[in-house]
Chains A and B, each alone.
Chain A
Amino acid sequence: MSEVSAEDQITLLEVLDRVLDKGVVLSGDITLSVADVDLVFVGLRVLLASVESANRMRTEAPATLREI
């Protein structure tokens, strides 16, 4: 389970969903805390585009950003 808080995970996911037009995959298990009451365990693997796109963005030079 990630040590990053659920709120941070969701915030990051939401930011990436917006600032990137496409091409990001987040995976991992997180615990969602909704209204500080419910703890919901979710195996989070949110596919927003292709794995290849995400990997390219993580590893390649800035020229790859043309493909975003």
Chain B
Amino acid sequence: MIWLYAILDYPPAPSLAALRGFDDRPLEALSCGSLIAAFTRHDASHEPRFSTENALKYESIVEQLMQPGIALLPARFGTRLADESDLRAALNAHRDEFVTALQRVRGCVEMGIRIICTTPSQQPVAPESTGSEYMAAKLAQQRQQETAKQRAEELIHLLTEKHRWPRSTRRARTLENSMFSSAYLVPTAQIELFRSAVREAANSAGPDVRILCTGPWPPYHFTPDLSREAQRSVDESV
């Protein structure tokens, strides 16, 4: 079984074989036209299992491949194919998509933003309230939370519009408990500018909004999805 880590457009230095994947397996490269797939081989009976430790390990392996001058599309944990033939077929099937994506992410990293609204909506309404007081308090909380959410969305919009950093639409979503998550594609040279912009947005956001900025990350949210091909490859191999 093949575990895919990333698709690159140029072999990193040192060579892939000097890098290690899961179970200390050497990373191998499969060239397919201008695309290079970085992977490890595993016996079907000894494949990596999902765990927090392995998720972090996976991220560190992908980060080893992130090198200046090399465009990289990270695969998701668990992207596995039956053999090299299936991997090659998947690359061929999405060649144009991958080439376009590699051009888009070249020289860029992914930066993450989480916006947390700390409105009083998470505080319980006093239990001794009457029914109408309770409903009024709940409504007020709901309005406060909506206002905070709206402000957070405006901040995200300003960040995108002002600097024209592409924002992932695939995973941009509103989460529970007033948390917002977004991913941006930012030129490496503008990482500090991005952080400054986030800081500026955070300062103007008000006391009930917190903005967390993370990154740089491999551009996970700007990578074409290979999961269907991987699923089909594995299904047909069993």
* A interface residues (Cβ-Cβ under 8 A, vs B): 10-12, 14-21, 32, 34, 38, 40, 42-48, 57-58, 61-62, 64-66, 68
Q: Are B210 and A38 in touch, CB under 8 angstroms?
A: yes
A14 contacts B55, C-beta separation under 8 Å: no
The answer to whether B176 touches A45 (Cβ under 8 A) is: yes
Q: Which residue of A lies closest to B173 (CB)?
A: A48
Q: Chain B nearest CB: distance from A42 CB in Å?
A: 6
Binds A, one of B86-94, B111-119, B154-162: B111-119
Does chain A have a CB within 8 A of B70? no
A47 B50 Cβ-Cβ under 8 A: no
Query: Which among B78, B112, B175, B227 is the interface contact of A47 at CB below 8 angstroms?
Result: B175
A32 touches B212 (CB 8 A): yes
Residues of B near A57 (CB, < 8 A) are 50
Question: Is the pair B122, A43 in contact by a Cβ cutoff of 8 Å?
Answer: yes
**Are B217 and A66 touching (Cβ within 8 A)?**
no
Tell whether, in the assembled complex, residue B176 and residue A19 are in contact, meaning their CB atoms are under 8 Å apart.
no
Q: Mark B153-187, 1 if CB is under 8 A from A, else 0.
A: 00000000000000000010001110101000000
Task: Check: B214 CB closer than 8 A to any chain A CB.
Answer: yes
Question: Considering residues A11, A20, A45, which has the most beta carbons from chain B within 10 angstroms of its beta carbon?
Answer: A20
Q: Residue-by-residue, is B209-224 near A (CB-CB < 8 Å gives 1, otherwise 0)?
A: 0101010011011000
Chain B residues with CB below 8 A from A11, complex form = 214
Q: Which 10 pairs, one residue from A and one from B, show the smallest C-beta to C-beta distance?
A: A65-B78, A68-B78, A18-B220, A19-B77, A62-B47, A21-B76, A57-B50, A14-B214, A47-B176, A15-B59
- B50 / chain A contacts, CB cutoff of 8 Å: 57-58, 62, 64-65, 68
Residue of A nearest to B62 (CB): A19
Residue of B nearest to A24 (CB): B55
- From A18, A19, A20, A42, B116 is in contact (CB under 8 Å) with A42
Contact at A66–B234, with CB atoms within 8 Å? yes
Query: Which residues from chain A contact B26 at a C-beta distance below 8 Å?
Result: none
| CB–CB A19/B220 < 8 A | yes
B52 partner, pick from A12, A32, A42, A45, beta carbons under 8 A: A12
Q: In the complex, which residues of chain B have a beta carbon less than 8 angstroms from the beta carbon of A44?
A: 177
List residues of chain B with CB within 8 A of the CB of A65. Answer: 47, 49-50, 77-78, 80
Q: How far is the CA of A26 from the CA of B177 in the complex (A)?
A: 12
Return chain A residues, CB-CB under 8 Å to B48.
Answer: 62
Complex contact A19–B59 (CB within 8 A): yes
Pick the residue among B55, B171, B175, B235 that contacts A15 (CB under 8 A). Answer: B55
Identify A66's interface contact among B77, B210, B235, CB under 8 A.
B235
Question: Whose C-beta in chain B lies nearest to the C-beta of A64?
Answer: B50
Given A19-B220, A20-B77, A34-B210, 16 other A-B residues pairs in contact with their CB atoms under 8 A: A16-B52, A18-B112, A18-B220, A19-B74, A32-B212, A38-B210, A40-B116, A40-B118, A40-B210, A42-B118, A46-B177, A46-B179, A57-B50, A58-B50, A65-B80, A66-B80
